[in-house]
Structure 1
Amino acid sequence: MGLLLALFSLFLAFAVVNPVQAADTGSLTVQMRDQKTGKAIAGGNLVVYQVAKLDSGKKYQYTSDFTKMSQDIAGMSQSEIMTANFARSLANYVSTKSLSAQTTNIPSSGDASISLESNAVYLVVQTTSAAGYEKINPFCLVLPYKIDGQTVNNIVAQPKDTQKTPSNNTPSVPSSPRSSKKKVSSKPPTGSTVPTLPQTPRLPQTGQLNWPIPLLALAGLTLFVWGWAEQKKGER
């Protein structure tokens, strides 16, 4: 009986410690919605690159794929990393190279989720858009994301999805060579801001606090020693 009690106490101690270790992973859920109607948009994909990781000095350092970037990420704050200009420079960089990345397709629900390693910086781009829609602007994500004194590892992003401008199907004959070279872009102008992340942060609320962990672990160890001593006493 004493041995069973000791083993149960030891299991309890490890069960309490494990949730803290799980904080090394996070997730990103991108909700694709029509900017005007709010309806879910299925189709297309998302490509996620790990750009940098946190080193022992609590500074971000580029991964091997991004070491040739000219901008020093170690001195950048969270808000500086998540600017539109930095995301565009990263997107231009990856467009000319074949780099490792995670790719996920947008399902019928319009919500695409992907598991990510924490303590890292990511670039999210779209190489294939849904039918009838423009590609979303690239954006950067920092995990964990710090907001209002909290660190959030599970992020929900809601980028702006805009429909493509319908093209004029009426055939036209250019009146001169000069007019045939004149082109009008149907794409809307690129904005200077990125989606605010997280717009709807979702972090499972377990109610678990960190300070009881060492106390419970010590209690489990004490009960283990007590159970072992009682077992030895019974054998005598």
Structure 2
Amino acid sequence: MKSIDLRHRLAAVLLAVCLVVCCTLPAFATSANIVLGRLGSLHVRLYDTHNDVPLRGGELTLYQVATVKRTNGNLYFDYTGDFAGCGVVLGDLSDSTLADQLVKYLPVVPAIAAQQDVNEEGYADITKLPQGLYLVVQTEASHGYEAIKPFLVSIPMPDGDNWIYDVDATPKVGATIPETPDIPDTPDVPVTPPDTPDTPDTPDFPEQPDTPDTPVSPDSPDNPVSPGNPDNPVSPENPDNPVSPSNPDKPVLPQTGQLNWPVPVLACSGVLLFAAGWVLNRQGKKEN
């Protein structure tokens, strides 16, 4: 019983080791039918199946990630200089995340394996490609569409016991971009305004005629002082000028130049004299 359990455990360990080796080494089919060194080609078609139209325009760029090598009858991928040391394990090549990981390791100026424009039918054909693993990136999007996601393709590609050297690929296209309506060009504004029409000449005004002579004011007839009373002198004489015309027969006393100021002075003096006499009279009565 112990020997049987030991053999089962040993078999399990060997199987685990084989799985680890297969996962750590870049996976590639092992076949003696491959012709190493034979050039291949890649034919990519960009087609919108939803709208049933090909994608026109754009550009595809290929970067060689690894070359194909064979050791002891086993084929494997060997990273090129641009991707050496990236640490990405090349397992299932259909995994889209592998391409995204490798894009991050692209240097600023990577070595380009090939570039090809997409024609009006949506095709891009790249020929004379050395065997290896390629990263395909759409560096210029097609008209009206977003760029496709990067993908990996192997040249040649295993097909059972055979190898396909001319590989066809139909990746999923990106989302459409709504077209922006063209804005009409703004008409050019003239730098200078059109010529202003000439101002018509001002017609000549006739010369101002001479002002006729103003007739001299006719002489005024002699104006008497009072036309209504031609015989009335300015100040009629008053013969025998009485002082009071209303009483011509009663004479008036002539003015003598009499003044009124002595009256209050004399009155005050009398009061003072009366007061002095009254005081003196009182004093005399007291002495008696």
TM-score (normalised: structure 1): 0.55
Q: Is the 8 A contact 2:149 2:174 kept in 1?
A: no
Q: Distance in 2 between matches of 1:161 and 1:72?
A: 26
Deviations 1:7-44 (A, max 9, x none): xxxxxxxxxxxxx9797111001111113123222111
Partner of 1:27: 41
Mark the CA change 1:41 to 1:166 in structure 2 (over 3 Å): closer, same or farther. closer
Greater helix percent: which structure? 1
Is 1:67 aligned to residue 84 of structure 2? yes
Deviations 1:139-198 (A, max 9, x none): 1011111123321111111112244353999xxxxxxxxxxxxxxxxxxxxxxxxxxxxx
In structure 2, what residue type is equivalent to 1:37?
A: N
Percent identity over the alignment? 27
Q: Distance in 2 between matches of 1:157 and 1:92?
A: 23
Q: Is the 8 A contact 1:28 1:115 kept in 2?
A: yes
Q: Distance in 2 between matches of 1:109 and 1:22?
A: 33
Q: Distance in 2 between matches of 1:158 and 1:81?
A: 15
Q: Is the 8 A contact 2:88 2:102 kept in 1?
A: no
Name the SS of the counterpart of 1:97 in structure 2: coil
Name the SS of the counterpart of 1:85 in structure 2: helix
Q: Distance in 1 between matches of 2:122 and 2:175?
A: 15
- List aligned pairs for 1:1-236, cutoff 5 A: 24-57=38-71, 58-73=75-90, 76=91, 80-94=92-106, 96-101=107-112, 102-166=114-178
In structure 1, what residue type is equivalent to 2:131?
A: N
Deviations 1:86-121 (A, max 9, x none): 011112222x52111111111122111002434310
Q: Distance in 1 between matches of 2:67 and 2:180?
A: 47
Mark the CA change 1:34 to 1:86 in structure 2 (over 3 Å): closer, same or farther. same
Name the SS of the counterpart of 1:113 in structure 2: strand
Deviation at 1:54, TM superposition (A): 1.7
Partner of 1:223: none
Mark the CA change 1:154 to 1:29 in structure 2 (over 3 Å): closer, same or farther. same
In structure 2, what residue type is equivalent to 1:91?
A: V
Larger radius of gyration: 2
Mark the CA change 1:162 to 1:29 in structure 2 (over 3 Å): closer, same or farther. same
In structure 1, what residue type is equivalent to 2:95?
A: T
Q: Is the 8 A contact 1:35 1:162 kept in 2?
A: no
Name the SS of the counterpart of 2:100 in structure 1: helix
Q: Is the 8 A contact 2:37 2:131 kept in 1?
A: no
Q: Distance in 2 between matches of 1:61 and 1:22?
A: 14
Q: Distance in 2 between matches of 1:135 and 1:35?
A: 16
Aligned-residue CA RMSD (Å): 2.5
